[in-house]
Amino acid sequence: MEMRADPNAATPPGGPTYASYLRLDELLACQTPLSDTHDELLFIVIHQASELWMKLCLHELTAARTAIAEDRLDTAFKMMARVARVQQQLIGSWETLATITPADYSAMRGKLGASSGFQSQQYRAMEFLMGNKNAAMIAVFDDAPHLQALLRDALAQPSIYDEALRALSRAGLPVPEDQLNRDVTQPYVASAGVEACWRTVYAAPERYWNLYELAEKLVDLEYRFQLWRFGHLKTVERVIGFKRGTGGTAGVPYLARVIDQVFFPELLTVRAVL
């Protein structure tokens, strides 16, 4: 999914400049408001910046998943810590977007057509990587076969939690075989056996320090992802109330249901039995 620099792009004779390296001419030409409203530029910039941050999250979490699979947990921790910082940027962006008033948004909304954040391929890829597998979401991209291909590949890959459970097993903990060999294209279902493994880790953090830290990094990842979702919910509620979303979703009620989706269930339920 990572975009590479165009090898055919002209390089200044003296080497890259700040503008040429960052391709600022192209980047700053990407904001093209469809209305004459003042706030549409903010709306575009926030969403474009969020897509760039999500690109970095996917880059880091994909590499972290590989590192976990190779038992290079310290390397994975660094990448996951970076994602936590990026998530703070994403969470904070809602406060800026919320400065758009209902009247301001209504003035531009008609120009947005059926476009919606629901159609963000990178957001869906992040959810798949985190473990919220839902093949039906790929149909949203029927008009973009190349994006569907990327998402089918993401659906077929183990989630970062799948790799964490395999790391538990390699460390000698009795992760149930049906969890280790499950169909990774399907949503993850909580397991009492997996919870018992995490309970062992939390009961003896000195013995299982790396696995204990892995668990806490995953909890932090989910915590911030949920704050991001909640910020989205409250911003939409503040700007459009309970109107339907531009992409045909139910708007606030849909976003409220999404918040109930949990990525790493046993890492939450184990806290009640420690």
Question: Annotated binding residues for heme, as ranges?
Answer: 232
Q: Tokens standing for 230?
A: 């909640």
- The H-assigned helical ranges of the chain are 18-22, 24-27, 40-69, 73-97, 102-109, 121-130, 145-156, 160-170, 177-180, 192-203, 209-240, 252-259, 265-269
CB 57 within 8 A of CB 126: yes
6: left (phi over 0), alpha (psi -120 to 50) or beta: beta
Q: Which residues are annotated as a binding site for substrate?
A: 43-47, 105, 109, 246
Determine the Cα–Cα distance for residues 53 and 193; give it in Å rounded to an integer.
36
> C-alpha angle with apex 217: 265 to 254, nearest 5 degrees?
45
14: CB partners within 8 A, 6+ apart:
none
| Main-chain dihedrals φ then ψ at residue 104, nearest 5 degrees | -60, -45
Half-sphere exposure of 187 (CA within 13 A, CB side): 11
Return binding residues.
Answer: 43-47, 105, 109, 232, 246
Which value, in Å, is the radius of gyration of the alpha carbons in the chain? 21
- What DSSP designation does 101 have? -
